Chain A
Amino acid sequence: DIVMTQSPDSLTVSLGERATINCKSSQNILYSSNNKNYLAWYQQKPGQPPNLLIYWASTRESGVPDRFSGSGSGTDFTLTISSLQAADVAIYYCQQYYSSPCTFGQGTKLEIK
């Protein structure tokens, strides 16, 4: 199985500041045939299911605010929130879907300073 490792485990950021979450895969998840990275990002608020933010590592899902962006390729990926809002307090997960079984990172808890 591909192991997904997120860093940090928790993050405290001031309102309006940038938040950066990293995700590293144990194997390359860039498919050379279509040049796509098989990585998604989710946001999970307390008591709610995960909500899709980004797929193909950098494609924002419809309705997701543009302060959320994804980047990276191969084995190293980043989720950036450009200007943190109170509504962004949540746990964030990355997921690889390059090979079965798909696997998730352990999560990064984002809090307000």
Chain B
Amino acid sequence: QVQLQESGPGLAKPSQTLSLTCTVSGGSISNGGYYWSWIRQPAGKGLEWIGHIYTSGTTNYNPSLKSRVTISVDTSKNQFSLQLSSVTAADTAVYYCARGYSTSWRGYWFDPWGQGTLVIVSP
């Protein structure tokens, strides 16, 4: 079955750009009409959707983060990536990648998820 795994630095300095990669195994990232997504969870808090890149390459971002977020895909490596610029301590969180799926154009649920990676923003 499809599995996702996040990778990237666990530490970022304020004002810098956070960069994470999600490697997809067990299936091609190019197939199937999925929404390859990033979601984050600050320690002890709830879940916040960051954005997605669709199978076609189109992206959609949470308006609360849109000015700072870029999600891209590398189909040759079966990976998609997150860049979050101008980070502050408020961006400290566990970052998850996940596959979004639905039979409706309106929206989708997430399954499966990666294990998550903790990113701490600190000088």
Contact = CB atoms under 8 A, between A and B. Distances in A.
Contacts of A61: 111
The main secondary structure of chain A at its interface with chain B is loop
Interface stretch (B10-18, B25-33, B82-90, B113-121): B113-121
Most buried by A among B96, B109, B114: B109
B118 to A, nearest CB: 11
B47 A50 contact: yes
Contact of A49 (B46, B106, B115): B115
Contacts of A105: 46
Contacts, number: 61
Interface residues of A, number: 27
A106 B47 CA distance: 8
Interface in B68-123: 96, 98, 102, 104, 106-116
Interface string A53-81: 00100000100000000000000000000
B19 interface: no
A102 B49 contact: yes
Contacts of A38: 104, 106-107
Interface string A72-107: 000000000000000000000101111111111111
Contacts of A23: none
18 contacts: A34-B104, A36-B104, A38-B104, A40-B109, A42-B110, A48-B115, A49-B113, A49-B116, A50-B47, A52-B109, A52-B110, A52-B112, A55-B109, A97-B108, A100-B60, A101-B49, A101-B62, A101-B63
Interface of A: 31, 34, 36, 38, 40, 42, 48-52, 55, 61, 93, 95-107
Given A49-B98, A52-B112, A104-B49, 14 more contacts: A40-B109, A48-B115, A49-B96, A50-B96, A52-B111, A95-B109, A97-B102, A98-B106, A99-B107, A100-B60, A101-B49, A101-B62, A102-B49, A102-B107
